[in-house]
Amino acid sequence: MTELQRYRRWALWTIYAVYFLILVGGIVRATGSGMGCPDWPKCFGRWIPPTNIAELPADYKDVYRAKRIQKNERVAKMLTALGFDGAAKQIVSNPAIGIETDFNPVKTWIEYINRLIGVLIGLLIVGTTWFGWRVRHHSQPVLWLSVLGLVLVLFQAWLGSIVVSANLLPFIVTLHMLLALALVGVLIYAMVLATTDYVGLGLVQTSDNTVGLRLLTWGTLTVYIAQMMLGTQVREQIDVLLTSTYAHDRTGIVEAVGSFFLIHRGLSYGVMLVLFLQTRKFKQIAATGGLVNKLIRYQQIVVAGSLLTGVAMAYLGLPPAAQPIHLLLGSGLIGFQLVVVLLLQYESQKTNATLA
């Protein structure tokens, strides 16, 4: 096995791990376990969290509330110095920061497992960077993408501490999730660049309009990302409603979000349309059983599952089981399409070089 092949295998397993973390993060959010550990990186001041409230001091709520407020003030000063006055104001003025969650051993261990998986991914990224260093003579971009992945993981770890100190402030939670998607994108790009045994997408002929085909694939990816961004806005609004009007009964909560939900639901038709157009186009120029057909088929399955879980969330009172699955499927859809975009770009460059 060559060094590039080792790199690609390691990067692929790291991508799987990040997607698993996205799923676990969705479970944390759906079960309301985000504040299961009120401090970071430890949990209730321990590396192994407690299982019984008797293990905690009587004033544990006051202790961790004070620590969070102090940390938020430091973060707000830093954000103000960087020019992010609005974000700084939200962090220090958020009334939820002063509300301490009651100890719940189940939620504590759900959050703790989430953190352990994050540590595992950090180690995998370190390994990816090491393999990237070893292939630097073959591909400098692979090395720099690996380093970028390491930087993103370190920033993610710091941002995770802010998620806790800000008591799950919605826009920070959303940023935390979007950075995970950015990490997936960086790793997929590096993995594609490290591919030495690429046999092609399975196109039986050179398209007469390669530029148009690339624009279609990029347009599809853009629609997927826009739909994901809208979904995060819907989720942010839901988080706000869960702390007030719909704290005890979730019936009708999705519809109560308003315009963001309506746009998100409407754009689901756009997702189906661009996928249909892309499927039709590739079907005309791809061999049966080709790689691109497999990638498109995966997307069709993922879109179907995403629509079903979305309907369940909207009309069945936001069932907790549907939320992490919906998030995972939406994230996976972006990943599959990014592979299509990058491989098509690579294939077009190869074809142009041959013709030249």
Residue of 39, 272, 252, 270 lying closest to 163 (CA atoms): 39
224 and 289 in contact (C-beta within 8 Å)? no
Indicate the pTM of the whole model.
0.88
Averaged pLDDT in 10-residue chunks for the chain of 356 residues: 86 94 88 83 89 87 83 84 81 72 89 92 94 90 94 89 75 83 93 78 64 88 92 80 71 76 90 94 80 90 94 83 91 94 79 50
Cα 152 to chain centroid distance, Å, stands at 12
Q: Residue 208: its pLDDT value, please?
A: 54
State the Cα–Cα distance between residues 177 and 22, nearest whole angstrom. 7
Every domain of the chain and the residues it spans: 1-197, 199-356
DSSP annotation string for 256-315: GG-HHHHHHHHHHHHHHHHHHHHHHHHHHHB-TT-HHHHHHHHHHHHHHHHHHHHHHHHH
Host H or E run for residue 144:
helix 140-165
Tokens of 4: 């590039």
163 and 34 in contact (C-beta within 8 Å)? yes
199-356 placed in CATH 2.60.40:
no
**Helix (H) and strand (E) counts in the chain:** 10, 0
Q: Residue 353: its pLDDT value, please?
A: 47
Q: What is the DSSP code (8-state) at residue 60? A: H
State the Cα–Cα distance between residues 232 and 260, nearest whole angstrom. 10
Q: Residue 157: its pLDDT value, please?
A: 86
| C-alpha torsion 309→311→315→316, nearest 10 | -20
